[in-house]
Structure 1
Amino acid sequence: MSDLNSYGFGQTGSISNVQVRNRVLRNTYALLALSMIPTVIGAWLGVAMGLSLFSGSPFIGFIVFMAVAFGFFWAIEKNKDSGVGVLLLLGFTFFMGIMMSRLIGFTLNSYSNGATLIMLSFGGTAAIFATMATIATVSKSDFAGMGKWLMVGVLLLIVASLANIWLQLPALMLTVMVLAIAIFSAFILVDVQRVINGGETNYIMATLAIYLDVYNVFTNLLALLGIVGGNRD
């Protein structure tokens, strides 16, 4: 007897799953693009108002930032299945834009080629995202196992960054930036593939994860370019 699957029978569930995954991925990319708007607005307002939050006390600033960020994470998780979750996510990205404004302002005020560095960082981040997303889409390999090791790497980066508040070692700072770019680039690969493989079915949570990856790649790339290519003329 002929295999019914060869005629498409019995594949409804499989086709439905693929459609769901594709819809989640499309919604994730759309919301990710939308989330850039409040990020840019927050960064612009921060620069225009000359905000320099906790510049005199980086450690306290880190604690406050983590408290606010995890507050948003909790609220977004609780409302991930409603429009409120989208609004909370956009509010979080606005907050992240404000937090980024100090780096943007420093780059523009400290380097004569600051605007160029920002555009290079944007282009570099876009290229990294496109590359990692493409690999996640076409590769037959499963990158899920990288997640736990990447998380260990993030924890080590946090420890090293906090330690360098007191140590003030330029070499350690450069190392942290380079490793952060590598780790969060790999996280893009893992997080995008998790959506493709059906491991993440909520587009709000998927967007949050990928947004954090992209944000960290951009900020660390900008800081690194400022150090190695900034003109203080």
Structure 2
Amino acid sequence: MNQPLSSGGRFGHSVSDAVVRNKVLRNTYLLLALSMVPTVLGAWIGVTTGIANGLTGFTGLIVFLGGMMGFQFAIHRFRDSGMGVALLLGFTFFMGIMLSRLLGAVLGMSNGTSLVMSAFASTAGVFGTMAVLSTVIKRDLSGMGRWLFAGMIAVLIAGVIGMFMGSSAMMIGITVLSTVIFSLYMLYDLKRIMDGGETNYVLATTGLYISIFAVFQNLLALFGIFGGED
């Protein structure tokens, strides 16, 4: 007897799984777009008030990492409720403020506006490329996560060492490597959604947002270093 095309059969399960994946992906994209609003607001407040100007060196790193980890813990705790969405939006506002010091420095250059737009366009291009790759790559990329995490930790440690050494060349190298790692993190996170490995759109948005933020921040720093005009 032929197996009925119901939710109990293989075809039914594949259709149901595809519906879930598409819903998670759609909600993730919508929430990701919404998260840009508090980010821009936080960055604008930070630039106009200079609230983050004092967060330099090790102090700035502690505030940044402490705030990011605290928000991530809370978001994970309330990931299945509206509170999780509210915490995510609060997190993106915080990240906007943290970005404002670099943003203000770049905007202070004579071609600062064009540098910001170039960094934004480049980040969008990276995200678009990774989104396309996540749909065409059939290979399971779940094993890539541990290597990316190890790379992220290595970059963080190297960044702390670079702060004390004061080596510009070292910091540029770290920035380039960080850009590559977080670009690949976009692919990894998007592929997890496509493969059904991430079914919570709040957590999916959080991961993608951090990667996008990191890539934009790194590109903005690099554009400011190599393309900035007084």
TM-score w.r.t. structure 1 length? 0.94
Name 2:26's counterpart in structure 1. Answer: 26
Question: Does the aligned pair in 2 maintain the 1:160–1:176 contact within 8 Å?
Answer: yes
Provide the secondary structure at the position in 1 that maps to 2:139.
coil
1:147 and 2:154 equivalent? no
Aligned length: 227
Name 1:158's counterpart in structure 2. Answer: 156
- Kindly provide the amino acid, as one letter, of the partner of residue 143 in structure 1: L
Query: Aligned-pair distance for 1:53?
Result: 4.2
Query: Aligned-pair distance for 1:65?
Result: 2.0
Name 1:61's counterpart in structure 2. Answer: 60
Question: Does the aligned pair in 2 maintain the 1:53–1:61 contact within 8 Å?
Answer: no
Name 1:15's counterpart in structure 2. Answer: 15
Name 1:86's counterpart in structure 2. Answer: 85
In structure 2, C-alpha distance between the alignment counterparts of 1:75 and 1:206, rounded to whole Å: 15
1:201 and 2:195 equivalent? no
Query: Aligned to 1:191, which of 189, 192, 203?
Result: 189
Name 2:134's counterpart in structure 1. Answer: 136
- Kindly provide the amino acid, as one letter, of the partner of residue 177 in structure 1: T
Query: Aligned-pair distance for 1:185?
Result: 0.4
Query: Aligned-pair distance for 1:54?
Result: 3.5
Query: Aligned-pair distance for 1:67?
Result: 1.7
Residue-by-residue CA offset, 1:119-163 (whole Å, 9 max, x unaligned): 000000000000001101121122221111111111111111111
Runs of at least 4 residues of structure 1 off by over 6 A? none
Q: Report matched runs for 1:107-122 at 5 Å.
A: 107-109=106-108, 111-122=109-120
In structure 2, C-alpha distance between the alignment counterparts of 1:214 and 1:190, rounded to whole Å: 13
Name 2:212's counterpart in structure 1. Answer: 214
Which has the higher mean CA deviation after the structures are superposed, 219-228 or 136-145?
136-145
Structure 2: which 5+ runs fail to align?
A: none
Query: Aligned to 1:126, which of 105, 124, 127?
Result: 124
Structure 1: which 5+ runs fail to align?
A: none
Query: Aligned to 2:179, which of 174, 178, 181?
Result: 181
Residue-by-residue CA offset, 1:3-31 (whole Å, 9 max, x unaligned): 547xx452212211110011001000110
Residue-by-residue CA offset, 1:39-61 (whole Å, 9 max, x unaligned): 00000110011223434x51122
Residue-by-residue CA offset, 1:46-91 (whole Å, 9 max, x unaligned): 0011223434x51122112222221111111111001110000000
In structure 2, C-alpha distance between the alignment counterparts of 1:70 and 1:50, rounded to whole Å: 23
**CA-atom RMSD, angstroms?**
1.3
In structure 2, C-alpha distance between the alignment counterparts of 1:66 and 1:171, rounded to whole Å: 24
- Kindly provide the amino acid, as one letter, of the partner of residue 95 in structure 2: M
In structure 1, C-alpha distance between the alignment counterparts of 2:60 and 2:172, rounded to whole Å: 21
In structure 1, C-alpha distance between the alignment counterparts of 2:69 and 2:175, rounded to whole Å: 23
TM-score w.r.t. structure 2 length? 0.95
In structure 2, C-alpha distance between the alignment counterparts of 1:61 and 1:175, rounded to whole Å: 20
Name 2:73's counterpart in structure 1. Answer: 74
* Identical columns (%): 49
